[in-house]
Structure 1
Amino acid sequence: MSTKIRNGYRLTEGTDPFTFVARLRTVMDPARDAADAKLLAGLYVRAIDSPWFRGDPIEDGAGITAWREWQTEQDSMSKMDRRHDPNEFGVEIGLDEVTGRHLLLLISYNRDLTDAFKVIDGVEEYGYWNDTDSRPDGVTKSDWEERKAAWNRVIPRSGYTNLLHFNLRPVHDGGVCRFLGVDGEDTTAVFASVPPRC
């Protein structure tokens, strides 16, 4: 069976997982806010540019209407759909009882959030896959076999884990809504995320 854990990481030796989660939130909350502002800016741009390019009038509140349509689409999607909550961020943490090290599975499909996560102090890449012969630079064959063994200990069979799950934002978080400006929220980040004119 093919194993693909390309989203695998490990806490550096001596890093406490609870301290790490607190640090994770301080870095990832602003990164998620930036991603949400960028998403909303994209919705606004499409809501205004599409009718403008067609020669149609731009309706009042076009941006809010675009957000409502996007939110309705989100609500109708399965949570397993990759397009659902495109700025989702979380980690699953498991203890390898043999080495005493904590392994992490990153849950994110957003490149900006993934990049912000990768540089957090206390985390290192620790993926494993057997669908190709390649492995990360600097990882020896014996290191690669140890990764395989560690992941097999933490995830003993497909779909069955003892990993603890951490979500950056709860299910009912306001997310993108917090940048709409309807109730006086600060929209600076949204308009700063609008791409410059070509």
Structure 2
Amino acid sequence: MSTKIYDAYRLPVGTDPFEVVAPLRAAILPARLRADAQVLARTACQLADDYSLHGDRSRMPVRRRDGSRLYTPQNPWVSAIRVLADQEADLSPSDTFHDAHRFSVSLLRDPADGRLLAKAFLGHSDEIREAFEAFCATQGWADWHYQDQTDWPEEVSELEWAQRRDSWDRTVGDSGVIADRCLNIDVRPSGFSTSPSVLGIGDDEEDAINAVTVSTPQVRLSRMLLAVQKIADGEFSITDLLSASERIKNAVNEGSDGTAELLELMSSPSVDELQGRQSGGFDDGIRTHSISEETLAAVAARLT
């Protein structure tokens, strides 16, 4: 049986597993909230852009189970929470994109010397990974990953590689199932939902929201143009999709083929606007641009 244990560490001698919880949570939770807030901002802006483009709610997402509307034009932020939760409800918990920002650490004890070993399970957030790596550096957690399909890394001696192999063999056992013999630490927001739920209730959530960067008009326009092309051309192959995406991005960045005129019709909404906190002409819904479907389709056609 092959062995692949990535994101694995050996803890300093004498580490108390219960003393790990608080500092680990303090290091990871802010990064988790920032990652959630960033996804919410991107989704909220996409929803507002689509609403501004179509001009009514008939083309906006609806909850498939009961038919109720997910999009509230006056509050794209809360709408994004609903949409993401609805999308995740259709995923299996074992799906790689279910709770994309999940983070947990399994602690195991090597029976030979009593040293604690850790196996981390990270989602798809670079920010969370960077926060965890910084935590490991400050806490003295040493890299202890191991796999038997390749030679050991250059920076690891042959002796240490064998030590890693032996320690994992002893600790995990013949089953190879870590969950059978570990102490697991999950780091997640209070009132946890696996889909983002940053509402700005607590100080940590407010800090995360304040750190958000809203997508630029260039990024947003590129997305809308690509969506029009995909609708017009039907099924895209991966090669076609990458080619179209690159072509559109270059045109938008250069302001060519009519894209400069479209950019002039777009605003840069703030997070407060996406959360419906700023009043002023938004009774029928927050508008982020004045581009029409016909104009967008015409420019998209030039880029095919």
Q: TM-score, normalised by structure 2?
A: 0.57
In the alignment, structure 1 residue 38 sits paired with structure 2 residue 38? yes
In the alignment, structure 1 residue 15 sits paired with structure 2 residue 15? yes
Q: CA RMSD in A?
A: 2.6
Paired AA for residue 112 in structure 2 = V
Corresponding residue SS for 1:136: coil
In the alignment, structure 1 residue 26 sits paired with structure 2 residue 26? yes
Deviation at 1:112, TM superposition (A): 1.7
Mapped to 1, the partners of 2:208 and 2:143 lie a distance apart of 34
Instruction: Judge conservation of contact 2:29–2:189 (CA < 8 Å) in 1.
Output: no
In the alignment, structure 1 residue 194 sits paired with structure 2 residue 209? no
Instruction: Judge conservation of contact 2:33–2:189 (CA < 8 Å) in 1.
Output: no
Deviation at 1:65, TM superposition (A): 2.5
Mapped to 1, the partners of 2:206 and 2:200 lie a distance apart of 8
Query: Match of 1:104?
Result: 118
1:75 and 1:172, CA in 2 relative to 1: closer, same or farther beyond 3 A? farther
Mapped to 2, the partners of 1:89 and 1:197 lie a distance apart of 32
Which sections of structure 1, spanning at least 5 residues, go unmatched? none
Alignment of 1:45-194 (within 5 A): 45-52=45-52, 55-57=53-55, 59-109=73-123, 110-120=125-135, 121-122=138-139, 123-133=141-151, 135-156=152-173, 157-159=175-177, 161-169=180-188, 172-174=191-193, 176-179=196-199, 186=206, 189=209, 192-194=212-214
Deviation at 1:186, TM superposition (A): 3.9
Mapped to 1, the partners of 2:164 and 2:206 lie a distance apart of 45
Runs of 4+ in 1 over 6 A off after TM superposition: none
Deviation at 1:154, TM superposition (A): 1.2
| Bigger share in helix | 2
Deviation at 1:48, TM superposition (A): 2.4
Q: Which moved more, 1:164-173 or 1:102-111?
A: 164-173
Which sections of structure 2, spanning at least 5 residues, go unmatched? 57-72, 219-304
> What does the per-residue CA deviation read over 1:13-38, in whole Å, with 9 as the maximum and x for residues that have no partner?
33322222221011111111111111
Paired AA for residue 145 in structure 1 = A
Percent identity between the aligned chains? 28
Mapped to 1, the partners of 2:25 and 2:207 lie a distance apart of 22
> Larger Cα Rg: Structure 1 or Structure 2?
2
Instruction: Judge conservation of contact 2:88–2:98 (CA < 8 Å) in 1.
Output: yes
| Bigger share in strand | 1
1:128 and 1:180, CA in 2 relative to 1: closer, same or farther beyond 3 A? same
